[in-house]
Structure 1
């Protein structure tokens, strides 16, 4: 698999930004079938850095309800897999370069 097949997008939130600054840990949304070794190889190939550690979490889907003129609309957000990637000392990933 190519790195672009495994990595979906980086997650940019306040918590993720705090971990980038303090722990050198970056958060990515990844394909559900990818394992830790494939994620590590994809990050190293795509960004050209050394990965020290990979932790994964499957974020469960949530039920969502909205009130409209027609009444309540019920739906569900889909679940996804999140990878927390710790990079080596001195390495950084510039996630804001393409914005």
Structure 2
């Protein structure tokens, strides 16, 4: 597994994720369901060039949604709360220097 396939997307637009980020130096990601904590830790360290202290994971059950007359179940997904070491930071909105 490549680091790009393990980390699906960051979740940074919620009130809870903003609070965790500012108070506890934690970042939340949606990750591959089959990935374990060690793979998630290595992927974050390689992709964002930071030191990771710990990783906590949760599996969320997909919701039932209406599709026309019937119902369909959305996919289950996994969320990882990554605690960064003191002094480390991930800036998602930094502008790149490339033109």
TM-score (norm 2): 0.85
- 1:1-99 equivalences in 2 (<5 Å): 1-12=1-12, 13-65=14-66, 72=69, 74-97=71-94
Structure with the higher fraction of residues in strand conformation = 1
1:38-76: per-residue Cα shift (whole Å, max 9, x none)? 00000001111100000000011111347xxxx755332
- Give runs of ≥4 in structure 1 deviating > 4 Å: none
Structure 2: state its 5+ residue gaps.
Answer: none
Aligned length: 94
Distance 2:34 2:22 in 1: 29
1: CA distance, partners of 2:55 / 2:5 = 18
Bigger radius of gyration: 1
For the aligned residues, what is the CA RMSD? 1.6
After superposition, give the CA deviation of every residue in 1:19-42 in whole Å (9 maximum; x if it has no partner): 000110100000011000000000
**Structure 1: tracts of 5 or more residues without a match:** none
